[in-house]
Amino acid sequence: MNHWRVIDTGLRPAAQNIALNRALLEARQAEEIPSTLRFLRFTPSALLGYHQSAEQELNLDYCREQGIAVQRRITGGGAIYFDDTQIGWELYLHKRDLGTADMQVISQRICHAAATAISALGVDARFRPRNDIEVDGRKISGTGGAFDGDALMFQGTLLIEFDVEKMLRVLRIPAEKLSDKAIESARERVANLKDLLGRRPDASVVRSNIVEAFESEFGVEFSDGDLTLSEHRRYQAALREIDHPDWVGLINRPAADMPIVEAAQKFPGGLLRVAVTFDRQTMTIRQVWFTGDFFVNPRRSIADLEAALRDLPLDRLEHKIESFFAGRQVDMLTLRPADFVAVVRLALSQPLMASNS
Amino acid sequence: MASVKGCNIPDDLYYNVETNVWARKEGDGTVTIGMTAYAAALAGQVVSCTPKKVGRSVDLNKSAATVESGKWVGPVKAPVSGEVVAINDALSSAPGTINSDPYGSGWMVKMKPANWDADSAALITGGAVAAAFETKMNADGFAGCGA
């Protein structure tokens, strides 16, 4: 049986955690370390995806006021708020551990195993395309990955006792999303283990479940370990680059290039409101939020639709919404899939001004 | 023109099969580089591409550009060493071109090679291309482009 290593690097500032990402991925690529599972925690941090711009994604004034560090990940995906109410897990693997080089297959396999680990705590956690793990339609873990040659790193969060309101204030989102009602509605889309279980789960149980799920998925056995000398050396070099404004500002686009536009429209099936974050440069919908006064069952369909529309090229909007509803049973009385298309199109037909900053 | 498991792999280009990148020597002495159709199929839809800046020198097999797809981020490694002399600006607004036209409008950077003769000797071109990629695809457990 193959032996992999498990390490826990404890509570650290974002720059240190991201520098360790770089160091361990490089060390795995150089075959200096075995495949590794790392647990980590963050002091309060706003973490950008590799290709994101802080101005476009974050409320930087709020981050400054609250002493929240702003950092850039080496992995893809969207901006997140990470603090000590979450546990991070990461796998550092070689492609030969996986038997495939298809990146989507790899992320699905890891997410399924992580969902099994979370389910063992007593909830029904499942993989939700593209890269989330959810419990009954509510996100409990977000994930992303990076690769270098034959080495890859895949990471996820696990929400234990998460402050949803703080997350909303850290991110650049429509102002109306900060009303009490909107915050309540956001809470319904995010799942905290503490709320689901009625108690704060024991961190050591969470860790051992994750270890066991990955052992079972990959047919390996984990042994506790520490950072090696070569990892320390690589970490010091990576920290010099990453704990620096040039790294955080690596991608720097103005907020005005990614406006948030809103619209409301009355249909026979109800009132639909939408807010859309739209990337004018790539003509891509980054994110949509649907609210309003309409009936939909199951309620999670809206969260699923919003997830399906993330990072969607505008010219695929109609097709994506039609195929989303064609692929599942959703009862929404007389509201039609075309109504969702229409209200998004209405929002995007306005002059694309930055509606908040 | 070679097709390997449904992936277009033109045999007039130079390849580093291991890192899955192509190079083309241009008439002006520069070398254009990009991802292969196979690399693009493994990645899935590319959503972002950030090339190294013009004027930067890049060592052999170091990152010449960074791409993102399906939340995965990774380097496109330079098959030759040299200086970046041009980048494909159109990719910032249309990164999907890397998937739809990887050898044409999906090119990533042009480099002024430091030592083309030595670097290109280690690359594969012509009749050997198809077999080299077929071996790699089999090792990677790859079913085929469009599969």
Task: Note the pLDDT of residue B1.
Answer: 63
Nearest chain B CA: its distance from A181 CA (Å): 31
Pairing label, strands B109-113, A312-313? unpaired
The token pair at A63 is 């981050």
Put simply, the answer to whether B70 touches A75 (Cβ < 8 Å) is: no
**DSSP assigned state of A333:** T
Select from A275, A277, A279 the least CA-distant residue to A251.
Answer: A279
Put simply, the answer to whether A51 touches B19 (Cβ < 8 Å) is: no
Question: Which residues are within 8 A (CB) of A356 and not within 5 positions of it... i.e. 6 or more apart?
Answer: A172, A174, A175, A260
Q: Report the C-alpha gap between A242 and B2 in whole angstroms.
A: 42
pLDDT digits (tens, 9 = 90+) for A202-259: 999 999 999 999 999 999 999 999 999 999 999 999 999 999 999 999 999 899 899 9
Token look-up 């007593």 returns A122
Question: What burial letters (b/e) apply to B110-131, b meaning 16+ CB within 10 Å?
Answer: bbbbeebeebbeebbbeeebbe
User: What value does the mean pLDDT of chain A take?
Assistant: 92
Select from A5, A70, A71, A73 the least CA-distant residue to A39.
Answer: A5
Which residues from chain B sit within 8 angstroms of residue A144, using beta carbons? 71-73
pLDDT digits (tens, 9 = 90+) for A328-341: 999 999 999 999 99
Which residues from chain A sit within 8 angstroms of residue B70, using beta carbons? 76, 103-104, 107, 130-131
Domains, chain A, ordered by start: 2-248 (3.30.930.10), 255-349 (3.30.390.50)
Contact at 8 Å (CB) between B23 and B110?
no
Contact with chain A for residue B42, Cβ under 8 A: yes
Task: Note the pLDDT of residue A329.
Answer: 93
Interface of A with B in 200-219 (CB under 8 A): none
Domains, chain B, ordered by start: 3-139 (2.40.50.100)
Question: What burial letters (b/e) apply to A194-220, b meaning 16+ CB within 10 Å?
Answer: eebeeeebeeeebbebbbebbbebbeb
Question: Which DSSP string do the residues of A240-309 spell out, in sequence order?
Answer: HHHSSHHHHTSS---GGGS-EEEEEEEETTEEEEEEEEEETTTTEEEEEEEEEEE--BSTHHHHHHHHHT
The token pair at A219 is 């047919």
**DSSP assigned state of A91:** E
pLDDT band at A187, cuts 50/70/90?
confident
Put simply, the answer to whether B141 touches A99 (Cβ < 8 Å) is: yes
pLDDT higher than 80, residue A354: no
Token look-up 């790699």 returns B136
pLDDT band at A351, cuts 50/70/90?
low
Contact with chain A for residue B77, Cβ under 8 A: yes
In angstroms, the Cα distances linking A214 to A24, A89, A109, A139 are 18, 11, 10, 21
pLDDT digits (tens, 9 = 90+) for B5-38: 999 999 999 999 999 999 999 999 999 999 999 9
What's phi and psi for A278, nearest 5 deg?
-125, 125
Q: Report the C-alpha gap between B18 and B8 in whole angstroms.
A: 17
3-state SS assignment for residue A145: strand
Taking one residue from A and the other from B, the number of pairs with CB-CB distance under 8 angstroms is 83
Average pLDDT (A155-182) is 86
Name the residue in chain B with its Cα closest to that of A78.
B71
pLDDT digits (tens, 9 = 90+) for A89-124: 999 999 889 988 888 899 999 999 999 999 999 999
pLDDT band at A127, cuts 50/70/90?
very high
Length reported for chain A: 357
Q: What is the ipTM, given to two decimal places?
A: 0.89
Q: Report the C-alpha gap between A31 and A46 in whole angstroms.
A: 32
Put simply, the answer to whether B43 touches A103 (Cβ < 8 Å) is: yes
Task: Note the pLDDT of residue A304.
Answer: 86
